[in-house]
Chain A
Amino acid sequence: MAPGAADRLGAAQFGNVLTSDSIPVSAERWLEIVPIAPLVARTVRYLCGEGRQFDLG
């Protein structure tokens, strides 16, 4: 997160703030973090599955 962004977000009048963990992000009381690992894992499985993209031999 850019310097100062967390402070500005925390001070803003948002009812909810929803973000992903696409970069490291600190847990805050006002922040709801959705993990991206399951989505990325599905993509990796798709890419590796049934030789769609990768031929691993």
Chain B
Amino acid sequence: MPPVLPSAVQVLAGDAHPVLAENLAHELMVPLASAEVAAFADGEIRVHVSQDVRDAAVFIVQPTCAPVNDHLMVLALLVDAVRAAGAARVTGIVPYFGYARQEQRSRPGDPRSAQVVSQLLGGVGLDHLITLDLHAPTLESALPMPATLLRAEELFLPRIKSWASRDLVVVTPDAGGLKRAQRLALALDAPLAVITKSRPGPDTATSLQVLGEVENRACLVVDDMAVPAARWFVLPTPPGRRGPGKFTLSLRMR
């Protein structure tokens, strides 16, 4: 029996993922509060929280997935709404943190978009952030509030182990996901392979070669975003060699 939470804990659903908010409230055995989210004719978003949140610790569930800008704005407005209504603490449960891919400038003239989003949320009074597999973990140091970074492998490992695949190799589709894949490979006692690729443009990637042994092995391809899905299954096979065996994909949908 899990410990009972203080009565001052409230879960508030934004408009991005009401099912997750409902499931969380069920797990926590607390009532779910929902916000009214609407838009004016010009597209301006308006929100309203009718629940009494004074002196409460409010957990707002709002992944900033597509449409990213709308969901981000709703989150910012909800934080301000509950802050203005007297909430004691406001935590954002943002398992998908939009703009996290743009945490550094790739060329002169680019903004630091992830930092802009972080400052927006800090500016409206977000006290704490809970997110899942932050695309660029280094972004944590730029967040103006404490963050809890959850890892998807905690969820996936029991399932993957239950498959009991032999000759498993963990494959990361790009070098940026190396540490994530390394952790998984270590936990599974499996070797690691890396696909090197180039990015000719946003949301596009070209596979170049595989570093590591994948021939006739069960490949566990690990990625955190579904945007470039077109390239996951393009594992180049060296001339004169057999290709990889069965593929398995483990990822977070975004």
Contacts and interface: CB of A to CB of B under 8 A. Distances in A.
Contact of B150 (A1, A40, A45, A48): A40
Contacts of B150: 36, 39-40, 43
B248 A23 contact: no
Given A1-B226, A5-B226, A5-B227, A37 B26 contact: yes
B24 A41 contact: yes
Contacts of A48: 5-6, 9, 57
Interface string A18-50: 111111110000001011111111011101110
A54 B226 contact: no
Interface in B210-252: 218, 221, 226-227, 229-230, 232-233, 246-252
Contacts of A34: 155-156, 159
A37 B24 contact: yes
Contact of A38 (B27, B159, B252): B27
Interface string B63-104: 101100000000000000000000011010101100000000
A15 B248 contact: yes
A48 B120 CA distance: 25
Contact of A9 (B20, B65, B229): B229
B96 A47 contact: no
How big is chain B's contact interface, by range? 35 or more
Contacts of A44: 5, 9, 24, 28, 59, 91, 130
B203 interface: yes
Given A20-B152, A45-B5, A49-B3, A57 B88 contact: yes
25 contacts: A1-B254, A2-B66, A2-B226, A14-B233, A15-B246, A15-B247, A16-B163, A19-B226, A21-B17, A21-B253, A23-B65, A23-B253, A35-B23, A39-B150, A39-B154, A39-B155, A40-B20, A40-B93, A41-B27, A48-B5, A48-B6, A49-B3, A56-B9, A56-B88, A57-B8
